[in-house]
Every structure is written in structure tokens, then in C-alpha cells.
Amino acid sequence: MSVAAVTFETPERAQDYVAETGFPWPMLIDASRSLYRAFGMERGSVWAVWGPQNWGAYFRIMARGRMPRRPHDDVQQLGGDVLVDPRGIVRLHHVGRGPADRPSIDTLLDAVREPAP
């Protein structure tokens, strides 16, 4: 199994993130956001990004002793999670409705463990 992350940020910011977090997988740059668009990940509204559902996530981060990072680029770009198996079949496709909207670890692991169709 291979894992990679995709970001639209600059290569320098991606490198800083990898260095700061110890992120162990390749970080791919989609500066044109064509992959984001192909998977339906558009820009969110101000409410989707800064609404109350996301403040809970930020408070949980701070309760663990970490401060949210200051945004640098387009904070309204929505992300998501996509799992593609080695044959190119999309096994999980989740488009986030905001920064705190992510599938659970169990959901991700279930998609990885599910037998191929």
C-alpha cells in the first residue's frame, strides 16, 4: 500500500509542514487544484470554514496544547479524503464540508480492509 497527501500550497510550505510534523509520506503539489476539482473539492463558504462546527475542532486542538497554525493560502479551499486502490478503483471518496469534516479512522481503515470488488 502507498500513501500520499496532496496540497495546493507552495512547495516551500509543504516542505515546512513535513519538517514540522514529521509527515512520513510523499506530499504532492496540485497548484492548479485540478485534482481537487476532479474529486469535487471546491471552495467553501465563509460559514463552512469559520462556522461554529469548526471552532469545536480548534478548541480540541488547543486543549491538547497545540495552537492552530496561522493560515497562509486559500483557507476556503475544501479538502477531503480519497482512497484509490492499486487498480485505480476509488474505494472511499469524502468531500469535506469544512476543515473539521473528516471521516473517522475506523471508516478509513474499513475502506482499506474491504475486499476488492
Tell me what pLDDT residue 93 has.
96
Whether the pTM exceeds 0.85: the reply is no
pLDDT greater at residue 25 or residue 2: 25
In angstroms, the first-to-last Cα distance of the chain is: 17
Q: What is the pLDDT of residues 30-64, one digit of tens each?
A: 999 999 999 999 888 777 777 777 677 777 778 88
Split at pLDDT 50, 70, 90, the class of 1 is low
What are the structural domain ranges in the chain?
Answer: 5-113
What's the pLDDT tens digit per position in 82-103? 999 888 889 999 999 887 788 9
